[in-house]
Structure 1
């Protein structure tokens, strides 16, 4: 999963907060007011997100409607996987994380690992 820039993250936030697919115009209208973006800017960002496989799109008249290809949690997990893969030493990264994890995070991880089926 590619790293997202600030504007890409803001567009993904809009898509993740919607229960349905959105057009470029819909996304533009739901962006925070302080952004003052052009339609073509949002269209370019959505096209880039589609190229990065972060959003799916389908024809909607003469335009497209967009929806997230991953949940927010799925995207965060993919980003974590990317960090581990790029670290060169995933064991050390995981051990460092384990040392800094809260008690609740540790419990969630232990429970998830206990439920995970064994790998062949």
Structure 2
């Protein structure tokens, strides 16, 4: 899928998409929460797909554990995105998921916030 096609799909779903061809391209994980990243087309770098910030490292861990249990690809299978657990500006753990699961990940954020 091309970047243009991804941007159209993401825009239709209301997702933020950072196009690495644009001048504002960046890799910026959140301080506490989940950071979703994918491979940059150059094959050497990563790009931020989404940040799902939480109010604390503990909330980040709870959301990460729930997301990993539900959304992680099977061991040995490569996913489209990597989901990083960010706690106090550091990546503590990660798992891979497929891009089709991004909607579900964002809904988990809403469910977590409602608790």
| More helix by percentage | 1
Q: TM-score range by the shorter chain?
A: under 0.3
| More strand by percentage | 2
- Higher Rg of the two aligned structures: 1
